[in-house]
Amino acid sequence: MNLRRTTTARRALAAVAITTGLVLSATGCGGGDDKGDEAPKSSSQQSDAGDKPKASPSADTEQTLAEVKNNGITLTVTSAKRDQGGYVTVSGTVTNGTSGIWLATEWKSDESELQGNAASMAGASLVDQAGKKRYLVLRDTQGRCLCTKFQGGIDQGKTSDWFVQFPAPPEGTTSVQLQVPTMPPASIDITEGE
């Protein structure tokens, strides 16, 4: 059953990556008419080449559920799906805006069972504020988190994909907070998976 969850998570992560690539390709190929009567975009709506667009009313808000920043690290959430197996898969990207390699050591879990999961998303949790419950990262029988491990770290200016799986909150719960150590909480909406 753990293999099935891992396979499903990998498929979901691959689908998110492919969809993101297609959206970014379509956005890059879109032609603009060079009329000078349009107002220039503000700096919060513009993005550097290769970066994902920032969330704004005119941006693709379906792709960015939340974005939080702290100490030069930007955590973007692009998907939070409830799967049939009774879990929620949350995924997105993390961008290193620091002056060196970022090793993600501060994101490890304090749980003794997860101590072998350094440089990973093992310290993340979902908080259902209405239900007053906190959901910790799922793990396999050997204590490995069902989450991304950032082996070797992330180089300066680079972006890496991530995912993490949690037990699913009750069916009626659609809004939760993703909490990652050292980062501000990110409010996200859970959607139904396939």
Q: Residue 149 burial by CB count (10 A; 0-12/13-18/19+): exposed, middle or buried?
A: middle
pLDDT tens, position by position, 164-188 = 999 999 988 999 999 999 999 999 9
Whether 76 contacts 95, CB under 8 Å? yes
Q: Is 113 left (phi over 0), alpha (psi -120 to 50) or beta?
A: alpha
Share of the chain above pLDDT 90, in %: 56
pLDDT at 85 over 70: yes
Mean pLDDT of the region 85-96: 96
Q: Please report where in the chains the tokens 């993390």 appear, as a residue.
A: 94
pLDDT at 93 over 90: yes
The separation between CA 19 and the C-alpha centre of its own chain, rounded to angstroms, equals 14
Whether 159 contacts 149, CB under 8 Å? no
Mean pLDDT of the region 138-143: 92
Local confidence band at 37 (pLDDT 50, 70, 90 cut-offs): very low
Mean pLDDT of the region 88-110: 94
pLDDT at 50 over 70: no
pLDDT at position 4 is 53
What average pLDDT does the structure give for the chain? 78
Domain boundaries, the chain: 2-27+61-192
Architecture of domain 2-27+61-192: Sandwich (2.60)
pLDDT at position 41 is 39
